[in-house]
Each structure stands twice: as C-alpha cells, then as structure tokens.
Amino acid sequence: MAAPVTPGHLTPNPLAPGDLSWGGLQGPPDTLPEPKQLPELIRLKRDGDRLSEGDIRGFVRAVMDGSAQGVQIGAMLMAIRLRGMDLEETVALTQALAKSGEQLEWPEAWRQQLVDKHSTGGVGDKVSLVLAPALAACGCKVPMISGRGLGHTGGTLDKLESIPGFTVIQSPEQMQSLLEQVGCCIVGQSKKLVPADGILYEARDVTATVDSLPLITGSSGLSFTTSPSACPTASILSKKVVESLSALLVDVKFGAAALLPSQAEARELAGALVGVGAGLGLQVAAALTAMDNPLGRSVGHTLEVEEALLCMDGAGPPDLRDLVTRLGGTLLWLSRQAEDPAEGAARVAATLDDGSARDRFERMLATQGVDPWLARALCSGTPAQRRQLLPRAREQEELLAPADGTVELIRALPLARVLHELGAGRSRAGEPLRPAVGAELLVGVGQKLRRGTPWLRVHLDAPALSGPQRRALQGALVLSDRAPFTAPSPFAELILPPTDTQQ
C-alpha cells in the first residue's frame, strides 16, 4: 500500500464539511472587486493569468443565470484546459459549483456512515452499480451523485436508465428517504443539486475538454502530457462536497483508454484531488486502477447492468469483483467501520455472496421508479431471464480469432470508439443513446485462444458492422505466444489523505 501523500503547494483555509461560505480564501464577498465581463475573464485565462475567487464566482454565476453564451462557456473551458488552474483556483471553482444549488443535510447520527466513490471514467466500468448497494448492506449511507457518459466512457446514470422506469432525478428530500429506506441512491445533477456543474459537464462532452485536468487537477505546475486543466477535479469534488461525506474514494484510471495514460500522471492527479479535498474539509483518498483492457467482460449499458447483477450473485468476472471489494473495503476503513482494508473487503465480499447487496439494489430500483415486479424479476432471475427483461439489440455479430495465441491484451479504446459510433455514446449534449448496443468479451486476458474461435460478440441495431469497424475491433485483440497466465488485478496503488490517524 502506498504511503500517504500530502499534495499541493498552497494551503487554503480548510472548511468544515458542508461549509461553503465564501470567506475561506479571500475574505467576505463584500470586499471583492466588481465582477469582470466574461470576455475579459476568458482573455485572462487564455493568456495564462490567474483568476480570482470573485472572477470564478462571476463565471459560474453567468453560467447559472444564462448570460453566458454557449460559445463563451466553451471558450472558457478550453482556456482552462490549455492554461490550467492552481490549487486555490480549483478550490474556488469547486466551491462555486457546489454553492450553485441546494446543500444536502443529513441526520447527525449518519455522520460516520456517509461515504461515496467516484471514477474518472473507463470502459466497462460498472463498479458503482455494485458498490453502492454493497456498502449499504454493510451499514453505510451512500448518496451517490453520478454523471452521464463523457467521450468514449460510459456513464453510470445512462446504464441505470437502460432499466425501464429508473429515475435519476431525485430531490434532496427524496434522497434522504432513499437513504433511510435503502441505504443508497444513485442520482444525477438537477436544478437543485450542483446545477452549474451539470451545465459544464455537458459542455465538456462536446467541446473536446473531457480530458481537462483542473476541470480534473487544478495544478498548472504539473507536467502532464495532456495540458493540465481544473474542471474534472472541481466537477468531481463539487458533487461530493454537497453530500457532507465522512469519506470519499476516487478511482483514478490510467492507461490507453483512460484520461491519463501513465500511472505517474494518475498519481499526480490523485494527489491534487486529495489536496483539494483537504482544502475543502473533505477526507478524500484515491485508488489508481489500470484501464487498458475493459473492466469485466461486458461493455454497453444494458450488458453492464446484467454483469453488475452477476457480480451481486457472487459470480461474474474476477477483475470486477476484485475492484468492488478493494474499493469498498478501503471506504469502510477510512470511515472507521472496519479495522483495516482487508477486513472491509471481506465484509463487502460477503454482501455479494449472501445476496444482501443484490437485495439493496432491488430496493433501490423499486424506490427510484422501477416497477417492483420488474425490479424483483431482474434481481431474482437467471442471466437468460434478465436479458429478456432489458432492451435488446436487433442484431448480434461475432468476431473470430485470426490466429492461435494467448490473449495478451484486449484494447479497450478501439472497442469503445466503435460502440460509440454504433450509438452507445453521444456526439452532442442531450443526444439519445442506444442502450442495447454493446459488446461481450468471450475470452479473458491470459486465456489460450485457437484460430477461428469467437472472441467478441457485438450487439448492434445496425444491420452489420462496417469494414472499418470490423478491422478496428479485430485490432483490439492482441495475441502472444507465451503460456496462459492469470490476469493481474487492475488495482495498482492507494493514495491516502494527509492525516496521522490512517498511518
């Protein structure tokens, strides 16, 4: 396990959880200068200047009141992506986004139980669908505010909305009721909860700023191969600040199909997230996990729901189960509900094996709008029965192995890009998805494969794959001549918050 990291070079005055007063960095609001006009703010950041807290508040206010035009929002996002933000700018942006809507308040008795997890995005990443109900079955309260698909990565909300009737928009009062009845909920941004981030989130998806690193990292001094920027750090943490959590774990993906290609870059981002969280009074840890291969054996909205249910049956792909139990065990430890991560992981694993996580998932579905009969049938049925209950693609096409060999790698990025073309992803904000489009991996990394054996089954609504699509998918399969082997865990490293209590 990695030693705790104390990230960042600036130390903004820490805030108590849920305290979003504006005096944390530069004094009370009435001492701030008059807001600048948006073109001037865009020019300042374009030229590499630092934005004040008042500047950042003015930008977010303009996003919220509609005075910021779409082109101006896009220009500011691009300026941030190219020029970056320092730690104080990112803290200020996170505060402004969080303050754009209502704050969530929970019973005092829940304080130690409130936990959440967030992922920077991957291919086949359905961990949240399993982890939230598993943690609820362990006695946690999980008020998970999630997002939609960005770029080539799938969104948790999109996956859940492939289940007929599931409603992601819940008021704060409804969220509290869900936590009381179920122990978890998975919801989206609304006009009441971090609405400014919801606007920026959609804009990032269609302005080539998904990989903006304060819109993830907030540190213009970091030497990323992609230009640093602060909205995903701010985007991630703004949604979590309003949740008033005891502990947050961020799953920072690295690899060919992740925002960050190398583990070293992921480590720097993780340090920034932990540091900004500390500046906001939020206990944040970060897990670094590999994203070269898809996670699990299924990619695509309904297929990933099916695989999540398989994991909650105590079965399913070992890499998915491993990540769910490790992340859950770490959260139980950080919130002092387990003596160490191993004990926490064992408790999470028990909820998968005894069906209690699946029971919580069923209750969450029924309470968030799914017909109780359908929720019950999905959670009690066989895999074949479940497939009949969810949207199904019109066609299936299998690809065959071109040669003998051992599966060395299944490249996630070309697979995700083809599925995006087929309708599993968005090219513009608000565009409808084809939830049944996806792919099943019929082999795993480390497995011996014979020429002519089916290795991939594509679910599509088009009559057939195009020639370029078929070639791109075949190029995703990497074979070697070495002996079969056990695939390594995607879990690589843990970055802990800067506190002596968890040494």
Active site residue 219: no
Respond yes or no: is residue 156 known to be catalytic. yes
- The answer to whether residue 386 is catalytic is no
Whether 119 sits among the annotated catalytic residues: the reply is yes
Task: Please pick, among 45, 57, 240, 420, the residue that the annotation labels catalytic.
Answer: 240
To which residue do tokens 């579905």 refer? 365
Q: How many CA atoms lie within 13 A of 425 on its CB side?
A: 21
Segment holding 215, helix H or strand E? strand 215-216
Report residue 316 as tokens. Answer: 């399913």
- Residue whose C-alpha is closest to residue 412's, from 266, 252, 291, 289: 291
Per the CB < 8 A criterion, the answer to whether 306 and 387 are in contact is yes
3-class DSSP state of 258: coil
Edge-to-edge strands, sheet with 438-441: 298-299, 438-441, 454-460, 395-400
Instruction: Indicate which residue of 52, 100, 119, 146 is catalytic.
Output: 119
Is the sign of the CA dihedral 456, 460, 463, 464 positive or negative? Answer: negative
The one catalytic residue in 159, 204, 386, 420 is 204
Query: How are strands ordered across the β-sheet holding 491-495?
Result: 115-119, 247-254, 284-290, 491-495
Q: Is 204 a catalytic residue?
A: yes
Mark whether 141 is an active-site residue: no
Q: Is 191 a catalytic residue?
A: no
Q: Letter for the amino acid at 59? A: F
Q: Which of 57, 83, 117, 326 is catalytic?
A: 117
Q: List helix spans (H) across 207-262.
A: 231-241
3-class DSSP assignment, residue 141: strand
Cα separation of the two ends of the chain: 11
Of 55, 86, 116, 359, which residue is the catalytic one?
116
Residues pairing with 396 in the sheet: 459
Asked about 301 being catalytic, the answer comes back as no
Catalytic pick among 57, 81, 99, 118: 118
Rounded Cα distance, 166 and 387, in Å: 17
Nearest to 362 by CA among 132, 151, 22: 132
Give the rounded distance of the alpha carbon of 414 from its chain centre: 20
Catalytic-residue membership of 171: no
Catalytic annotation, pick one of 156, 289, 330, 367: 156
**Active-site hit among 100, 235, 289, 335:** 235
Closest CA to 232 of 332, 120, 384, 352: 120
Tokens encoding 439: 């792919």
Six-digit token string for 144 = 């998970």
DSSP 423: I
Contact present, 277 and 284 (Cβ < 8 Å): yes
Distance (Å, whole) CA 356 – CA 136: 9
Cα–Cα distance, 196 to 476 (Å, whole number): 38
Please identify which of the residues 239, 297, 301, 386 carries the catalytic annotation: 239
The catalytic site residues sit at 116-119, 156, 204, 235, 239-240
